[in-house]
Amino acid sequence: MHLNEETIKSETVFEGKILYVTRDVAKLENGREAIRDVIHHNGGVCVVPLTEQGQVLMVRQFRYPHHCVTLEVPAGKLEQGEEPLTCGIRELWEETGTRAESMEYLGSLFPTPAYDTEVIHMYLAKGLQVGGSQKLDPDEFVDVERIDLREAVNMVLRNEIQDAKTQIALMKTYLLEQQKKQGM
């Protein structure tokens, strides 16, 4: 079949806390075989918490693989079998101490489709009720900031926000909000 690869063999070569890696042998459409290393991940959720004043609640945190502090929308890993909406509600509460009256699904994205099974589901949270305290994991440290949505989009355009899920979720939110204002 055109543009299809069939898995012939799969061997787990690493098992970690949040992912595992397989080395697969795939049969290509031309009949040849190729090695495919695949990272398997449960996936995750990100949430754009948008206030009535047009501000986004964002989190600053240290990201070890890049050894820098990033600015992101609240997000987290899906537990095995967990529904994305449930995860989004939980992560919004844990990272910002906020609940939302509505959670609009913005779609999903493949962060690195060449070698990773991760899928990230995106939500827009509105009707925010801020006031709880964060419920962070013992190894999690984040600061919450309010940033005007338009400024957050400009930060994406200036490459000041490098996290892909945050970039996409912010841009989708901005475009949707503009369409709503124009009655589209």
In this structure, the answer to whether residues 75 and 33 fall within a common structural domain is: no
- What is the domain-level CATH number for residue 82? 3.90.79.10
Query: What pLDDT shows up at residue 136?
Result: 75
Asked if residue 74 belongs to a domain, the reply is yes
| Residue 90 sits in the same domain as residue 101 | yes
Q: Note down the domain range covering 32.
A: 6-41
Number of domains in the chain: 2
Q: Record the pTM.
A: 0.94
Print pLDDT tens along the chain (184 aa).
799 999 999 999 999 999 999 999 999 999 999 999 999 999 999 999 999 999 999 999 999 999 999 999 999 999 999 999 999 999 999 999 999 999 999 999 999 999 999 999 999 999 999 887 778 778 888 999 999 999 999 999 999 999 999 999 999 999 999 999 898 7
Any idea what the Cα angle at residue 112 is, between residues 107 and 144, rounded to 5°?
65
Q: Per the structure block, which two tokens stand in for 14?
A: 């690493």
Q: Indicate if 31 and 69 belong to the same structural domain.
A: no
Give the CB-side neighbour count of residue 32, counting CA atoms within 13 A. 4
In a domain, 1, yes or no: no
The position carrying tokens 């992912």 is 19
